[in-house]
Amino acid sequence: MGAKPLKVARRGAIPPFIVMDVMRAANERTARGEGVLHLEVGQPGTPAPAKVLEAAQRALSENKLGYTDAFGLPALRQRIAEHYRITYDLAVPAERIAVTVGASGAILLSLLASFDPGDRVALVAPGYPCYRHMLTAIGCEPVVIESELEQRFQPTPELLERVERPLQGLFVASPSNPAGTMVDRQAMARLVAYCAERGIRILSDEIYHGITYGEPAVSALAFTDQAIVINSFSKYFSMTGWRLGWMVVPPDLLRAVERLAQNLFISAPTLAQLAGIAAFDCREDCDALVAAYARNRALLLERLPKAGFDRLAPADGAFYIYADVGRLTNDSDAFCKRMLAEAGVAATPGIDFDAERGHRFVRFSFAGAEAEIAEAAERLTDWLARGAG
């Protein structure tokens, strides 16, 4: 008699995070001894700042690295609170700050604390795919709103007005992934007011704050204490693998988020927390990295159009360029696979960020070394000149 098949939960049937699949294919190519230039993954090409590494080494030798409170080390929460005072001139109590297992942990805690199964949460396309995948996994309904370049690929009250049934939540990401566009102060004020009138909880993803190329990014906290603000040490502080993030929790959600954090994560990694305290003493180093990203951005904005990628979203912040490649292909996934195989350049197909229109878009990350970005531009120019597109 054969064994009865075991159940597999439907929530695991969410779509993949395609950029991770691209990175795996690029790594497999590297393992075969074939060179790859990584323009696919949103990861700084530099290690954490020296003071962060020194703090981690001290912690390894001096600290037992036991659990912390679910919301993190008091000293780290206080430094984050000071960050809001220094950077935004905002008074955010340390008691409202929860240290999390990366921004991903903050997003999951935010969704679980704010919404019940069946609740509807809006997000724009193109946008970070894990928002909609997490919503689907926990039984919420992602309401995808198609935003155009004229709206800077961002949500607006006018776009939200087109949604027929009531919403319980809205994701805002500024600077955004994949387009790098930003919501300015006036636009953020309008969004906050619109959502407040309708009881829509804003989840403001601010993980690319600090990486901007003109005006600084605006925090939703400047307009409301009811938004959930999500941030991370991964991008500006160049600490992706440390898996350390934070969230600013609205007063009405504090205990709910804490209970969820206690049960799901216990606490963020203690070693990363101790090192993260030192990150706020590294602004000069981090700003130097942003200056390097700015050079890479300028290089690609000059050379990509010459190569044939001539329809680009304005990269106000983050370290991405979102290119409309509709004149070259109607299948961005196959296009990126050929780009990797034939030119040795890894990039992410737009279908990761926009299931309906992403077949004609590609995202390039310029977070790597300047020499690699320059070589990638040369390879792409040669590749397209050979008729690869």
Q: How far apart are CA 80 and CA 71, in angstroms?
A: 12
Same domain, 120 and 225: yes
Residue 2 lies in a domain: no
Number of residues that make up the chain: 389
Q: Based on the domain organization, do 264 and 333 belong to the same domain?
A: no
- Residues 107, 198 within the same domain: yes
What would the pLDDT profile of 44-90 be if each residue is shown by its tens digit?
989 999 999 999 999 999 988 999 999 999 999 999 999 999 999 99
Rounded to whole angstroms, how far apart are CA atoms 100 and 83?
17
Judge if 188 and 61 occupy the same domain.
yes
Domain that holds residue 364: 12-41+284-385
Residues 55 and 36 reside in one and the same domain = no
Instruction: Render 54-86 in DSSP notation, one character per residue.
Output: HHHHHHHHH-------TT--HHHHHHHHHHHHH
- Domain membership of residue 1 (yes or no) is no
Tell me what pLDDT residue 1 has: 62
Beta carbons within 8 Å of 314's beta carbon, 6+ residues apart? 152, 179, 180, 181
Q: In this structure, are 98 and 244 located in the same domain? A: yes
Task: CATH number of the domain at 322, please.
Answer: 3.40.640.10
Domain match, 291 and 269 both: no
Q: Is residue 223 part of a domain?
A: yes
Please give the pLDDT value at position 12.
87
In a domain, 3, yes or no: no
pLDDT, position 389 = 53
Domain boundary among 239, 259, 281: 281
Pull the structure tokens for residue 266: 């216990």
Predicted pLDDT at 25 = 84
Burial 123-141 (b: 16+ CB within 10 A, else e): bbbbbbbbbbebbbbeebb
298 and 269, same domain (yes or no):
no
For the chain, residues with pLDDT lower than 50 are none
CB 203 within 8 A of CB 170: yes
Does residue 4 belong to any structural domain of this protein? Answer: no
Number of domains in the chain: 2
**φ/ψ (deg, to 5) at 321:** -125, 125
Residues 258 and 329 in one domain: no
Residues 262 and 327 in one domain: no
> In the prediction, which pLDDT does 304 show?
94
Same domain? For 219 and 350 the reply is: no
Tracing tokens 């955010």 back to the chain, one arrives at 92
Residue 142 lies in a domain: yes
| Residue at which a domain ends, from 256, 281, 306 | 281
Same domain, 163 and 131: yes
Is 310 part of a structural domain of the chain? yes
Contacts for 263 with CB less than 8 Å, ≥ 6 apart: none
Strand partners, 268: none
